[in-house]
Amino acid sequence: MVTNKKGKETMSQSDVKIIKANKNLKEKVGTGDIAATRVEASQNMIENNEVDFEPMAAEFLDALADGVKHCQGTAGDERTAALQSMVKPVMDLKANAQMFGYPLVTELANIMLNFLESVETPDNDVIAIVDAHRKTLMLIIKSKMSGPIGQKGMVLIDELKKACARYYAKKDIEEKPTQ
């Protein structure tokens, strides 16, 4: 990662991994290069994005709060099915936060997503960890903690990792490596 003129982290050439598309995908999108001017224009649009992330993030966080409530109100197999109601908003946050200059939200959502993917049935401890995560993200976004992660952000990342590790140890679950 490299930092651009506005202090936002962006990918460097060494961060890029080229994956060859399979035949079905090539048939759907066609072949050929994308003009460099179009790529530059797209990158410029991303880097100079003036859209406020807070309203979008609020929708994802509301959906996560609904997912937490849904899980709290269920048991057994129904609770296992309700797990997806927490996974989707976390995925949405992870997918969008970086583009809007919130790498800390992206990193925390990535840790949470890996945690949720390692859980089969969310018990009360899982629900408590997810809800604490949701509240943390709300504060980050309301406080507009965008830009480079910084020391406070690293503390939040470390604390979430520790909470997940305690749960893994308690339940004797093998921790998934963070992607």
Domain range list for the chain: 2-47, 53-171
> Yes or no: is domain 53-171 CATH 1.20.120.160?
yes
Q: Are 121 and 71 in contact (CB under 8 A)?
A: no
Over 70: is that where the pLDDT of 34 sits? yes
pLDDT at 48 (0 to 100): 78
pLDDT at 8 (0 to 100): 60
Token pair in block for residue 75: 């048991």
Q: What is the pLDDT of residues 72-117, one digit of tens each?
A: 989 888 988 889 999 999 999 999 999 899 999 999 999 999 999 9
Residue 6's nearest CA partner among 148, 157, 159 is: 148
Terminal alpha carbon distance of the chain: 15
Weakest mean pLDDT among 30-34, 132-136, 157-161: 30-34
Q: Residue 129 and residue 9: Cα distance in Å, rounded?
A: 28
Q: Are 86 and 71 in contact (CB under 8 A)?
A: yes
What's this model's pTM, rounded to 2 decimal places?
A: 0.75
Task: Report the chain's mean pLDDT, rounded to a whole number.
Answer: 88
Residue 10's nearest CA partner among 98, 137, 76 is: 98
Which stretch of DSSP H or E encloses residue 141?
helix 124-142
pLDDT at 22 (0 to 100): 78
